[in-house]
Amino acid sequence: MASKVVRWIAICFLVASILCVNGETLTTSTPYDSAGRNYDLGGLFCATIYSNQTLEFRSEYLWTAYCDQAGQPMELSLCGTCIQ
């Protein structure tokens, strides 16, 4: 069972990596278990931007993301520029 799970995760990661590259912008996601954490954003980089939002807002999206051009510094102003 564990080997099937590992294989499935590897396949999903590979497909996601291929699909997420768009020009010079690279997007990635990290499993966060939002529902298991009651949509608490404390562990996310952009948490300070969304910490005052309602549970309804936070549970609306599968994940929130930060997008930048490759090699550019991270800025809080870019938080949420990519939301799935």
Residue 82 phi, psi dihedral angles, 5° rounding: -125, 115
Report angle CA 24, 62, 65 to the nearest 5 degrees.
Answer: 35
Q: Residue 65, Cβ neighbours under 10 Å: how many?
A: 20
Arithmetic mean of pLDDT over the chain: 61
pLDDT score, position 54: 80
pLDDT score, position 2: 54
pLDDT score, position 36: 78
